[in-house]
Copies of this chain bind each other. A is one copy, B any other.
């Protein structure tokens, strides 16, 4: 029985409204670990554990975005999507998000080798991030794109973080915060293109619901990442 017809298809505004409702409930700014971070309650070790583990996510973004790019049917969209790979890998070795995160880690007293070698990477973080990359590898292009739409919620969180780190974690050198400043400009540009693509690719109400499920999946990835850092597993 075909319940949904094309008449139910959401407009862009309706889709974005549902997306924001989803984010209000499930985005990782609601996670206890993030709440403690923002209340200034994390120990140095906890903050450093987050910086070290979140790096794995940053490091996998170019691969994830290259997998999405490889599926995009329109050249104009591939040209735009390529900017994301540039943003993370950098135009050269001395810029880009991965490099900025390494600088952020150094500002927090962590040697970049610790991040690059991945020796303190928690299994739960690895599994969550790998699940995200595999989702983008295996799903249809508009679902892979949809999973990036947590970017709609990111700027608020990122702008808060700059102030919070400066206020509560002043042992981190302020020169290390460039990553967050740069993302404030990149994320809104990216999320608009992402929404455009999803509106094009998800042609029916059912497909739009699938796209929202992809966003929910991505919220779970980010949430699990913080779970793993919060609990750090039962020690062997």
The reply to whether the CB of A156 lies closer than 8 angstroms to some CB of chain B is: no
Contact A69 B75 (CB under 8 A): no
The reply to whether the CB of A79 lies closer than 8 angstroms to some CB of chain B is: yes
Q: Smallest CB–CB gap between A151 and chain B, Å?
A: 20
The reply to whether the CB of A3 lies closer than 8 angstroms to some CB of chain B is: no
Q: Please, how many angstroms separate the alpha-carbon atoms of A28 and B86 in the complex? A: 35
Tell me which of B63, B69, B89 contacts A62 (CB under 8 A).
Answer: B69
The reply to whether the CB of A4 lies closer than 8 angstroms to some CB of chain B is: no
Q: Please, how many angstroms separate the alpha-carbon atoms of A6 and B70 in the complex? A: 36
* Chain B residues positioned under 8 Å from A70 (CB to CB): 62-64, 66-67, 70, 137
What are the nearest 7 A-B pairs in CB distance?
A66-B70, A66-B69, A63-B70, A66-B66, A67-B70, A78-B89, A75-B89
The reply to whether the CB of A93 lies closer than 8 angstroms to some CB of chain B is: yes
Tell me which of B66, B67, B82, B93 contacts A75 (CB under 8 A).
Answer: B93
Complex: chain B residue closest to A59, CB-CB: B75
Contact with B along A54-91 (1 / 0, CB 8 A): 00000000111011011100011011001001100111
The reply to whether the CB of A92 lies closer than 8 angstroms to some CB of chain B is: yes
A residues adjacent to B (C-beta < 8 A): 62-64, 66-67, 69-71, 75-76, 78-79, 82, 85-86, 89-93, 96, 98, 137
Q: Please, how many angstroms separate the alpha-carbon atoms of A62 and B82 in the complex? A: 11
Q: Please, how many angstroms separate the alpha-carbon atoms of A147 and B75 in the complex? A: 23
Q: Smallest CB–CB gap between A190 and chain B, Å?
A: 17
Q: Smallest CB–CB gap between A82 and chain B, Å?
A: 6
Tell me which of B62, B79, B91, B137 contacts A93 (CB under 8 A).
Answer: B79
- 20 A-B contacts (beta carbon < 8 Å): A62-B78, A63-B71, A64-B70, A66-B78, A67-B67, A70-B70, A70-B137, A75-B89, A75-B93, A75-B96, A75-B98, A76-B93, A78-B85, A78-B89, A79-B90, A79-B91, A79-B92, A79-B93, A82-B82, A82-B85
Q: Please, how many angstroms separate the alpha-carbon atoms of A66 and B144 in the complex? A: 15
Tell me which of B75, B85, B91 contacts A90 (CB under 8 A).
Answer: B75
Q: Smallest CB–CB gap between A167 and chain B, Å?
A: 32
Q: Smallest CB–CB gap between A33 and chain B, Å?
A: 28
Q: Smallest CB–CB gap between A75 and chain B, Å?
A: 5
* Chain B residues positioned under 8 Å from A92 (CB to CB): 79
